[in-house]
Amino acid sequence: MNMSAEPELPLKGMRILAVEQMQAMPFGTQLLARMGADVVKVEHPTKGESGRGSMPTITDVDGSQQGSTFLRNNLAKRSLGLDLKNPKGAELFKKLVPGYDVVTENFKPGTMERLGLGYETLAELHPGLVYVAVSGFGSLRDTPYGSWPAYACVPEAMSGFYSFRPEPGRRPNIGVAGAIGDIGSGLFAMIGLLAALQGRTRTGRGQKVDVAMLDAMMSIMDMVAFGPSIGVHDQSLKAWPGILQSFDASDGLFVLQVGREHQFENLAKLIGQEQWLEDERFSTREGWAANLEGVIRPAVEAWAADKTKLDASRILAEAGVVAGPSFEGEDLLTDPHVAAHDMICEVPVEGREEPVRVHGNPIKFSESPEGPTTKWPLIGEHTSEVLRSDLNLSEADIDALRGDGVIT
């Protein structure tokens, strides 16, 4: 073994042909691209994928407007501008497939089949193909909702996400966690993708991996269905036995979770309320919850009044109490953990004074280097490159296809 060799990204050599849009699949494949996979994004040759049209937008180097959803989900990818509704485009796609390990898509079920590019068709051309699909309600099992369009808010709502921890008289905030229905689905899809590739090393055959966004959200929101089976029918925060709340500090909020007796003892001693430990009102976790607003909150906030949210959290954490500051965007830009972990990456864009800031890769390796944060591609930026290298097409062939509107 050559110990002096430069470490490589762990997914180097993996090739993914990504027919994707918006966030669910692009988020997942971007993680793989940043770990070394070659992700070729297949999109309409003039319009691009729909995420480019999301709001707000920035002006890209070619003068085009690029949507925020697209910017943050397509780093380190190549773009192939290809019209799959054109028979010539569909045939080109079929010719490309055998050169790839994986095809991904997140259209409504039946869309790829109508284009003549469904899993069964592609598997005949490439028996080792792993085909990964994400949709609102899946395509491998029966569902009464299969025809429904589904953005993240739909599976979030149907999973019980918005009914969990209800507040009387208040409607739930929709989209409170961004697009967790998309991101969660994308992560489950990538786990399935990697599992299917591992299975292929044993069998030599690929398979279809199918993730329903509703199923992914139900896995994330497991207490909604699980709770009643163990006798938990009130899932409001007030019914939770313990302390799970935000509290005021001098410059904002910090969160506090006390669910164990030794944690409550540590909290009481730290804030100068040792008498609570002899008070029958605080002898149970239910008692902590019942006396939160009348006794515990005023005492905690009086203690934290001259402390920043970060200092209060640090002191609590050092005392063995689970706490953390509720950060806002500007806080993250200067946080030492975020900086040390490279969790905010700056992508320069020619003609813009300010770089675009995107999330880093949360997956760290002891040996492999940090993956690339190469700028998102323009529509069809790599079309000629891909067709020359993968299909050995000549410039004349490529020009002809471009003239017919098949490619960008």
The pLDDT mean for the chain works out to 95
Q: Same domain for 255 and 150? A: no
pLDDT at position 89 is 98
Same domain as 244, residue 206:
no
Is residue 3 included in any domain, yes or no?
no
Cα–Cα distance, 90 to 223 (Å, whole number): 44
Q: What pLDDT sits at residue 4?
A: 56
Contact (CB, 8 A) for 30 and 79 = no
One domain for residues 213 and 362: yes
Which domain range does residue 205 map to?
Answer: 15-222+350-403
Same domain, 193 and 76: yes
User: Do 44 and 70 share a structural domain?
Assistant: yes
Structure confidence by residue, pLDDT tens digits, 348-403 = 999 999 999 999 999 999 999 988 889 999 999 999 999 999 999 999 999 999 99
Q: Are residues 143 and 248 in the same domain?
A: no
Question: What is the residue type of 43?
Answer: E
CATH number at residue 200: 3.40.50.10540
Of 112, 54, 41, 34, give the one whose Cα is nearest residue 80.
Answer: 41
Report if residue 185 sits inside a domain: yes
Would residue 9 count as lying in a domain?
no
196-228 confidence digits (pLDDT tens): 999 999 999 999 999 999 999 999 998 888 888
Q: Parallel, antiparallel, or unpaired for β 252-258 and 322-325?
A: antiparallel
Number of separate domains in the chain: 2
pLDDT at 3: 54
Q: Is the domain of 209 the same as that of 354?
A: yes
* 94 and 214 part of one domain: yes
**Sequence-ordered list of residues with C-beta below 8 angstroms from that of 201, at least 6 positions apart, any chain:** none
Is 384 inside a domain boundary?
yes
Amino acid at 192: G
Q: Evaluate whether residue 331 is within a structural domain.
A: no
Examine residue 334 and state whether it is found in any structural domain, yes or no: no
Residue listed under structure tokens 């993956």: 371
For range 58-73, the mean pLDDT: 96
CATH of the domain at 287: 3.30.1540.10
Q: Hey, how many other C-beta atoms are within 10 angstroms of the C-beta on 149?
A: 8
